[in-house]
Amino acid sequence: MKNLILSLAAASVLFVIGCQENSITDPIANQPVEKEQIGTTDTYLQGTIRLEGALNDPYPIGNSFYRISGQIDFEQRTLFMDPMLPSAQRYASLYFITEASLWYVCTLMQPSELDNLDGFISNVSEDLVPLAGSAVSMLEKSFIIQGREDGMVLRARFLVTSSGCELSTMWLELRSDNVKATDINHY
């Protein structure tokens, strides 16, 4: 009987040891493992950039300028294009919806509520900007001013980081004839 009890005890101990998970082959992870797939997003940001102020007249006639009023609504996603490299290639995908109006202002005459609209911008665009660590990337865009026949464009320079997008500067310029309409917004 003594042998039977010892055999049952040994069998139950072997059964309990055999049913435990094998911790020797389990991977050791101090932090949660995150697998990134090509093209997956890391962050999603959205915001509004106000377009307000005075812009120099590209025709240097007298003491005149243009007043701009509007906004750019944007969505920004950070994409990892090749996560297998030692340092993953990150890009900011920017989606812009631009709505703005321009009024011509001449300082020789008193501004009036009846001043006519001199052009407007209504544009939707998407751009891909490379991001490098904590560095700031720059995006320069041209927006065609509709309602004008002289080819005037609004040029804007944006500073892009993984934490957002902001307007650095904007100005008006006359588009040269050797620039095709399809070249606008592709930088």
Res. 13 pLDDT band, cuts 50 70 90:
low
pLDDT beyond 60 at 180:
no
pLDDT digits (tens, 9 = 90+) for 94-150: 999 999 999 988 776 666 665 678 899 999 999 999 988 778 999 999 999 999 888
Residue 133: the pLDDT is 75
Q: How far apart are CA 5 and CA 48, in angstroms?
A: 78
DSSP-derived secondary structure letter, 133: T
Residue 186: the pLDDT is 39
Residue 182: the pLDDT is 42
Quick one: CA dihedral 58, 103, 52, 109, positive or negative? positive
Residue 89 Cα distances to 5, 75, 82, 135, 166, angstroms:
65, 20, 6, 13, 22
Average pLDDT, the chain: 78
Contact (CB, 8 A) for 165 and 73: no
